Amino acid sequence: KAGVTQTPRYLIKTRGQQVTLSCSPISGHRSVSWYQQTPGQGLQFLFEYFSETQRNKGNFPGRFSGRQFSNSRSEMNVSTLELGDSALYLCASSPGGGSQNTGELFFGEGSRLTVL
């Protein structure tokens, strides 16, 4: 079974631009979460989607947004990029729903964003 796939793996943008990152979850998984990883702040939760609905949102400004499609694929968008947005953005999927799902997440390799 293929793992979580994130594209692109690396990208460089300049301040003020916007970026869209893509995530394809493990087949059959319906929950997709996004995390931002930086050396200073560690791993911070961005948002979680389940069946195309945002189920939870972290403490990030409105410049950060996301969505999930009917095939469970997800995208996140960051508009008006700032230098501090430079980070590794990690997507994770989970089966979602059901009492047997104990909540471990399966992570992709991440998209490393550098903002110049």
Partner 1 sequence: AQSVAQPEDQVNVAEGNPLTVKCTYSVSGNPYLFWYVQYPNRGLQFLLKYITGDNLVKGSYGFEAEFNKSQTSFHLKKPSALVSDSALYFCAVRDKGSSYKLIFGSGTRLLVRP
Alpha-carbon distance of 111 to 98, in angstroms, equals 30
31 makes contact with partner 1 (CB under 8 A): yes
Q: Using CB under 8 A, which of 48, 64, 68, 81 touches partner 1?
A: 48
96 makes contact with partner 1 (CB under 8 A): yes
DSSP state of 25: P
Tokens (6 digits) for 77: 């968008």
60 makes contact with partner 1 (CB under 8 A): no
4 makes contact with partner 1 (CB under 8 A): yes
Q: Could you give the strand order of the β-sheet that contains 5-7, starting from the edge strand earlier in sequence?
A: 5-7, 19-24, 74-78, 64-68
- Contact set with partner 1 (CB under 8 A): 4, 6, 31, 33, 35, 42-43, 45, 48, 50, 55-56, 58, 90, 92, 94, 96, 101-110, 112
